[in-house]
């Protein structure tokens, strides 16, 4: 791709009610020098395709090399500096009734450089959009809303901040353990020390991996897994007692199971099971 392009999309009054609205996408073979003292009026993503350049924020310059990008919130003053001979960039701007909430919920950092691997979908996402941008109907209304959400989830999944492992990298590292937990989640010996042995890492690193991948501690993940399995058993095997299910799924006793289940689900196991009984 060696041609500049910029696409603005028609936004109707009905579109403004959508959670996400795609405003523009574009590519510049040579990024121009811009000064935006009042910032951009909506969320603004910029990433480097080739070369490097700098986004100048009030806090100072931030260099963006290849496979690096940054998301700016609306109204953040900034400018571009192009100290290198080449800085090719791709950008996307968006808004929407729930844009800020979705960005926050996905825990995507603002005004912070993010990077990603060469084998991830983010590495050639500019080509994906280049192939589609000519037909604006592909990006209007709910289509555009879905495109932005997909893009944000890619940032969540593959984006790396401060050289920390991305969500996908942490999940991939945990995968052997997650598969093992599917079979032995109810065993009494399953705990942080056991998980560390399974992965061959320290208990502290296990905790870090779980928090990066799921936003949960290993214990919280195990508890959620046991509750999920208990729901499945409650429905699939109506003849089993609550006491037996508590033992099968790794809870200390029936009382602990009932208390934990009610706190998480808002119902006791028996009440939860009732609608599924024939």
The per-residue pLDDT for range 256-265, each reduced to its tens digit, is 999 999 999 9
Q: Answer whether residue 256 is part of any domain.
A: yes
Q: Of the residues 98, 125, 158, which one is the last residue of a structural domain?
A: 158
Q: How confident is the model at residue 153 (pLDDT cuts 50, 70, 90)?
A: very high
Residues 260 and 146 in one domain: no
pLDDT of residue 134: 63
Q: Answer whether residue 176 is part of any domain.
A: yes
Which DSSP string do the residues of 120-187 spell out, in sequence order? SGGGGHHHHHHHHTT-GGGTSHHHHHHHHHHHHHHHHHH-BSTTPPPHHHHHHHHHHHHHHHHHHTT-
Q: Compute the CA torsion angle 119, 122, 127, 131 (nearest 10 deg).
A: 120
The per-residue pLDDT for range 201-234, each reduced to its tens digit, is 999 999 998 988 888 899 999 999 999 999 999 9
Residues 83 and 182 in one domain: no
The tokens of 31 are what? 């990024």
Q: Which of 170, 66, 171 is nearest to 124 (CA)?
A: 66
Q: Which of 264, 213, 223 is nearest to 107 (CA)?
A: 213
Residues 151 and 187 in one domain: no
Give residue 214's domain range.
168-276
Residues 123 and 253 in one domain: no
pLDDT of residue 8: 81
CATH of the domain at 34: 2.60.120.280
Q: Of the residues 130, 158, 186, which one is the last residue of a structural domain?
A: 158
Which residues, 6 or more positions from 74, have their beta carbon under 8 angstroms from its beta carbon? 39, 40, 41, 42, 43, 44, 95
- The helix (H) or strand (E) run that includes residue 242 is helix 242-248
Q: How high does pLDDT run on average in the chain? A: 89
Residues 111 and 175 in one domain: no
Q: Compute the CA torsion angle 151, 156, 161, 167 (nearest 10 deg).
A: -140
The per-residue pLDDT for range 26-68, each reduced to its tens digit, is 999 999 888 999 999 999 999 999 999 999 999 999 999 999 9
71 DSSP 8-state letter: E
β-partners of residue 70 are 46
Residues 16 and 135 in one domain: yes
For residue 135, pLDDT beyond 80? no
**How many residues does this entry show for the chain?**
278
Residues 134 and 235 in one domain: no
pLDDT of residue 78: 95
Count of structural domains, the chain: 2
Q: Of the residues 111, 138, 158, which one is the last residue of a structural domain?
A: 158
The residue assigned the tokens 């959400």 is 149
Q: Answer whether residue 163 is part of any domain.
A: no
The per-residue pLDDT for range 154-187, each reduced to its tens digit, is 998 889 888 766 666 778 888 899 999 999 999 9
Q: Answer whether residue 249 is part of any domain.
A: yes
Q: Compute the CA torsion angle 133, 78, 48, 128 (nearest 10 deg).
A: -20
Residues 139 and 102 in one domain: yes
pLDDT of residue 166: 65
CATH of the domain at 175: 1.10.10.60
Q: Which residues of 196-212 are buried (b: 16+ CB within 10 A; e: fewer)?
A: bebbeeebeebbebbeb
């Amino acid at each position: 791709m060696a041609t500049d392009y910029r696409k603005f999309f028609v936004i109707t009054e009905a579109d403004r009610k959508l959670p996400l609205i795609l405003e523009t996408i574009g590519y510049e073979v040579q990024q121009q020098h811009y000064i935006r003292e009042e910032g951009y009026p909506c969320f603004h993503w910029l990433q480097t395709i080739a070369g490097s350049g700098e986004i100048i924020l009030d806090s100072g310059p931030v260099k963006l090399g290849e496979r690096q990008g940054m998301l700016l919130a609306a109204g953040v003053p900034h400018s571009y500096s192009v100290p290198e001979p080449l800085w090719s960039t791709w950008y996307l701007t968006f808004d929407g009734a729930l844009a800020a909430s979705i960005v926050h919920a996905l825990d995507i950092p603002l005004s912070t450089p993010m990077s990603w691997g060469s084998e991830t979908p983010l590495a050639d996402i500019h080509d994906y959009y280049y192939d589609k941008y000519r037909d604006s109907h592909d990006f209007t209304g709910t289509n555009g809303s879905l495109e932005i959400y997909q893009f944000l989830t890619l940032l969540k999944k593959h984006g790396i901040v401060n050289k920390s492992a991305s969500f996908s990298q942490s999940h991939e590292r945990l995968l052997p353990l997650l598969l093992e937990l599917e079979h032995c989640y109810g065993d009494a010996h399953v705990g942080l020390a056991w998980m560390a042995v399974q992965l061959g890492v320290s208990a502290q690193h296990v905790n870090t991996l779980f928090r990066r991948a799921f936003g949960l501690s290993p214990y919280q993940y195990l508890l959620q897994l046991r509750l999920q399995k208990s729901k499945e058993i409650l429905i699939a095997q109506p003849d089993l007692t609550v006491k037996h299910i508590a033992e099968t799924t790794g809870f200390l006793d029936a009382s602990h199971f009932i208390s934990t289940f009610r706190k998480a689900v808002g119902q006791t196991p028996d009440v939860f099971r009732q609608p599924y009984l024939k």
